[in-house]
Amino acid sequence: MDADPGAAEAGREYDARPYLPSGGGMRGLRQAAAGCRGCPLFRDATQTVFGSGPAHARLMLVGEQPGDQEDLRGEPFVGPAGRLLRKALDEAGLADEGAYLTNVVKHFKFTVAPRGKRRIHKAPSLRETTACRPWLVEELRLVAPDVLVVLGGTAGKALLGSSFRVGEQRGVLLPMPALDGGRDGSAPGQLLATVHPSAVLRSEDRDAAFAGLVADLSVAATALD
């Protein structure tokens, strides 16, 4: 029997907070996240996929959760969605910005296709995004970016609340919400929401969707000039 069965088996509420370190900066945070068992997603995934990039980047981007390739390599945005995102950042003039990339949920959630072994992305539940969010809050506190780009609905809801709709709030610079325990007011920096690169890949008009992503990222670029 495992020494730490994790929150689910122990009947605790899903929550990453018991696994947060008391200090140690970004390295300490990353190391602690590698051992997180705050929700059941650690069990089927290969490893924790923590954020990557300069610890004091001016630009930070947050997606939903790692995909198949991210899970295997332990790095965010290294699969097809990541390639598209890098191309969009390039076209928006942000290629050299040295962004910090991360996700709301740090373990890959998937189902296995009926025949064969292909792992198919499954959207994380609200319980799981809420459980994992403390890692993101700590990353945001440490990086303290000038601009946080929120990619898609899962990340938008995690940061701006459940009424967030990407179609309504995309492409405009918003004040950074204060995330420390729901206090009112705003934190330093600005936030900009846009579509998730996976949504661009799934779109019927991929060129138009890609152009929309680039246009939104270009707004973020103006804030970093």
**What whole-number distance in Å separates Cα of residue 222 and Cα of residue 89?**
13
Beta carbon nearer to ligand SF4, 36 or 92: 36
**97 binds ligand URA, rule: CB under 6 A:** no
Q: Is 158 in the site for ligand SF4 (CB under 6 A)?
A: no
Nearest distance in Å: CB 164, ligand SF4: 20
Tokens 């992503």, located at residue: 213
Site for ligand SF4 in 122-141 (CB under 6 A): 128, 131-132
DSSP string, 19-70: G--SS-HHHHHHHHHHT--SSGGGTTSSS----BS-TT-SEEEEES---HHH
State which H helix or E strand residue 189 sits in. strand 186-194
Say whether residue 70 binds ligand URA (CB under 6 A).
yes
- Asked if 202 and 158 count as a contact pair (C-beta separation under 8 A), the reply is no
Nearest to 53 by CA among 85, 80, 22: 85
Q: Verify binding: residue 71, ligand URA, rule CB under 6 A.
A: no
Query: Is residue 106 close enough to count as binding ligand SF4 by CB under 6 A?
Result: yes
CB of 10 to ligand URA, least distance (A): 28
Contact partner, 76, from ligand SF4, ligand URA, none, Cβ < 5-8 Å per class: ligand URA
Q: By CB under 6 A, name the binding residues for ligand URA.
A: 63-67, 70, 76-77, 79, 81-82, 103, 198
